[in-house]
Amino acid sequence: MSTLSVTAQISTDDPPEVAFDRFAAGGLLGLECTALVVGAAVSVSLPGDGSGVAGMPITLLGHVASVQWGKSVAIVHHQPWRGRLKVRFFADGGGSRVVVESSLDQDGVSWLAHKRGFDPPEPLRHDRHRIGLLVSKSGSAAVFAQATESLAQLAVDEINDGGGIGGVAVELIIGDDASDSLAGVSAANRLSRSGCRVIFACVTSATFNAAASMLQGTGVLLVHTVLNEGGRPSPGIVRLGERPLAQVRAGVPALMADTGASRWFFVGHRYSWSFGAHWAARRVVAENHGSVLGDVYLPLGTNDFGATIATIEGSGAELILSSLVGHDEVVFEQQCDQHGLRNRTRTFALVLDEATQQLIGESAAEGVWASFTYFQGAVDTYRGLEDRYRQAAMGPLPPMSSLSATTYEAIKTYGQIASMTPDLDRDELRRSLIDAASSTTNGLHRPILLAESRRGQLRTR
């Protein structure tokens, strides 16, 4: 696929070596990286151009590909599109010129066009069976969604290798909710207008619920593929993924027994996911004779947890339950470590997947517990999928996680159902997906595993 190259320049009064040090410390381009070394997970922000959504910074998530200290850094990024970013430092009089060069393929061009409000549906094609993927390619939740698009496309490729659906090739259409429910409604609407009769959603519950309301009456089936708090049944939706009650039943008693501690403090987001998760956690803490000394609900996109950490310290809590997602979870765990809270408490994080853990960093994530139905390298039945994922990719990869694996499984299950009976209506398809999810012979139904972050890896206990 052909690529474009876009170059921008930043001038600074600092000489190149000082400007480079500022960049490495996060003072330029919003770099977030625990160690600027090859292979390290990294986040970098490019300035937007314009006002409103179009003017917001573009955050690239990826891995460091090369470093020439004081001169240049190359980053291979996975989100919001796949590409390569090079940052170079040149002397310019008494200061320096920072040259930023980014590659753009067709996916990148399309993503930027959608970001600027140019958002038409894809022209309908009768020779394609279209399914949608609603995913957080940008915004706070993009951290946990990095591998999702790649695994979704792998599932589609495997369906097509088996003959497609009813002899028609499956085509995956992507929508980015930008970790925002209103943007998610717009993206889901575009997917529906593009002819997607099924949309798989790897997004927050805030986006899922908003998209479900918008899609009522359209005939589209919306499938929540990742962990969620559940909710009332509805003809137009299917909720897969882990439930917080199962997660906390696995983790809360085990962490209390491991530490001998019983006093909890909960930290989450101000929407339905955390409300449901904290309700479930309160129930399980009480069943195990513990106490909850307080909880805090914060907006998605919070970057300063100083006041929350002070409140936790003042409460006397020994244990922390975090239902924060994505970048918020990254910042919270890093700041807990910086404030010394990691040495005085233990944390159980409900949305700590492998990609989030990488960005937090080895030291700041040390000792944090997580619970999912899948951890990379821990489930023998997924060795083949892990191998296929590595083989299908070019360059450094974001790690697989339960969030991306469940999306792969949901699409593959849909392909198997639709291939056997291509003419199923929405209600029949919904029942078939729910039945498949509850079957012990299907990968969608798996036991909860516990893992602890140790020396940079989530290791099952």
Residue 285 is predicted with a pLDDT of 98
Give pLDDT tens digits for 384-408.
999 999 887 766 789 999 999 999 9
In the predicted structure, residue 449 carries a pLDDT above the cut 50: yes
The better pLDDT of the pair 211, 381 is held by: 211
Query: Cα separations (Å) of 213 from 184, 269, 400?
Result: 11, 21, 30
In the predicted structure, residue 364 carries a pLDDT above the cut 60: yes
In the predicted structure, residue 5 carries a pLDDT above the cut 70: yes
Give 3-state DSSP helix, strand, coil % of the chain, rounded to 5: 40, 25, 35
Residue 437 is predicted with a pLDDT of 85
Mean pLDDT to the nearest integer, 253-273:
97
Residue 423 is predicted with a pLDDT of 83
User: Please, are residues 147 and 397 in contact by the beta-carbon 8 Å criterion?
Assistant: yes
- Residue 28 tokens read as 């330029």
In the predicted structure, residue 53 carries a pLDDT above the cut 80: no
Beta strands in 308-381 (DSSP E): 319-322, 346-349, 369-372
Residue 395 is predicted with a pLDDT of 66
Mean pLDDT to the nearest integer, 114-137:
88
SS3 of residue 7 by DSSP: strand
Rounded CA gap, 36 and 68, in Å? 10
Give pLDDT tens digits for 271-308.
999 999 999 999 999 999 999 999 999 999 999 999 99
User: Please, are residues 330 and 359 in contact by the beta-carbon 8 Å criterion?
Assistant: yes
Report CA 422 to chain centroid distance, whole Å.
31
Rounded CA gap, 326 and 303, in Å? 12
The better pLDDT of the pair 446, 332 is held by: 332
In the predicted structure, residue 322 carries a pLDDT above the cut 50: yes
Rounded CA gap, 19 and 91, in Å? 10
Report CA 404 to chain centroid distance, whole Å.
8
Which 8-state DSSP code applies to residue 30? Answer: T
With a CB cutoff of 8 Å and minimum separation 6, the contacts of 51 are none
One-letter identity of residue 269: H
- Residue 409 tokens read as 């499984």
Please confirm whether the linkage preceding 80 is cis (ω < 30° from 0).
yes
Looking at the chain, the whole-number percentage of residues with pLDDT higher than 90 is 80
Give pLDDT tens digits for 64-122.
999 999 999 999 998 999 899 999 999 999 999 999 998 888 888 888 888 877 777 88
The burial of 52, by beta-carbon neighbours within 10 Å (0-12 exposed, 13-18 middle, 19 or more buried), is given as exposed
Give pLDDT tens digits for 140-158.
999 988 899 999 999 999 9
Which residues face 454 on adjacent strands? 457
Residue 87 is predicted with a pLDDT of 96
Residue 51 is predicted with a pLDDT of 47
Among 100-104, 164-168, 218-222, 441-445, name the one with the lowest average pLDDT: 441-445
Residue 49 is predicted with a pLDDT of 62
Which residues face 294 on adjacent strands? 265
Question: Domains in the chain and their CATH numbers?
Answer: 4-104 (3.30.530.20), 119-242+404-438 (3.40.50.2300), 244-372 (3.40.50.2300)
In the predicted structure, residue 203 carries a pLDDT above the cut 90: yes
Q: What pTM value is reported for the model?
A: 0.92
Query: Cα separations (Å) of 179 from 137, 175, 299, 321, 385?
Result: 8, 11, 12, 22, 27
* Mean residue pLDDT across the chain: 92
Residue 2 is predicted with a pLDDT of 55
- Residue 366 tokens read as 């040390």
Rounded CA gap, 358 and 352, in Å? 10
Which 8-state DSSP code applies to residue 52? Answer: G
Residue 289 is predicted with a pLDDT of 98
User: Please, are residues 173 and 133 in contact by the beta-carbon 8 Å criterion?
Assistant: yes
Radius of gyration of the chain (CA): 22
Supply φ then ψ for residue 266, to 5 degrees. -105, 140
SS3 of residue 19 by DSSP: helix
Mean pLDDT to the nearest integer, 209-232:
95
